Amino acid sequence: MELQQARAIVETLAQGIHPVTGELMDADGPYNEPVVIRALFTVARALEGGEGKATREAGERRSGAPNQGKPWAPEDDAKLEAAFVDGADLKPLAQELGRTTFALEARLVKLGRLPPRSGMRFGTSAPA
């Protein structure tokens, strides 16, 4: 397995999404515990290969992504789908929603708007 593929799986877990089925994890499951989410994002940053990224303080988040690991609000889904339909650039929307572009792409897969990336398997049904 490539490191980037492993990083994508770990980041997907950190977002509370099952990396194989694409389903949201149970709210009371271990992947929704703040300490586990921080640990998974720390590992994902370490796999990016950036020097010093994995050694940040536990509570410190990457700038520009304050909503990483948090549940998606229906209005955020609506904004994302509208931007996708309009062909808008995802970077500004990612900043507005406090998410990474990877998170937006993963959510579009989850919502059935994009096919899964090569080597990754996400479910395509939106949450009920």
Model pLDDT for residues 66-104, shown as the tens digit of each residue: 888 889 999 999 999 999 999 999 889 998 999 988 889
- Provide the token pair at 16: 């509370």
Q: What is the 3-state secondary structure (H, E, C) of 2-43?
A: CHHHHHHHHHHHHCCECCCCCCECCCCCHHHCHHHHHHHHHH
Using an 8 Å Cβ cutoff, are 102 and 11 in contact?
A: yes
Q: What is the pTM of this model?
A: 0.48
The whole-angstrom separation of Cα 17 and Cα 32 is 10
Mean pLDDT of the chain: 77
Residue with the larger pLDDT of the pair 104 and 15: 104
- Residues 6+ positions from 123 with CB-CB distance below 8 Å: 18, 21, 22, 23, 110
Tokens 């998606």 -> residue: 72
Nearest to 106 by CA among 46, 19, 48: 19
Model pLDDT for residues 41-75, shown as the tens digit of each residue: 888 788 776 434 444 444 454 455 788 888 999 99
Give the pLDDT mean for 110-120: 77
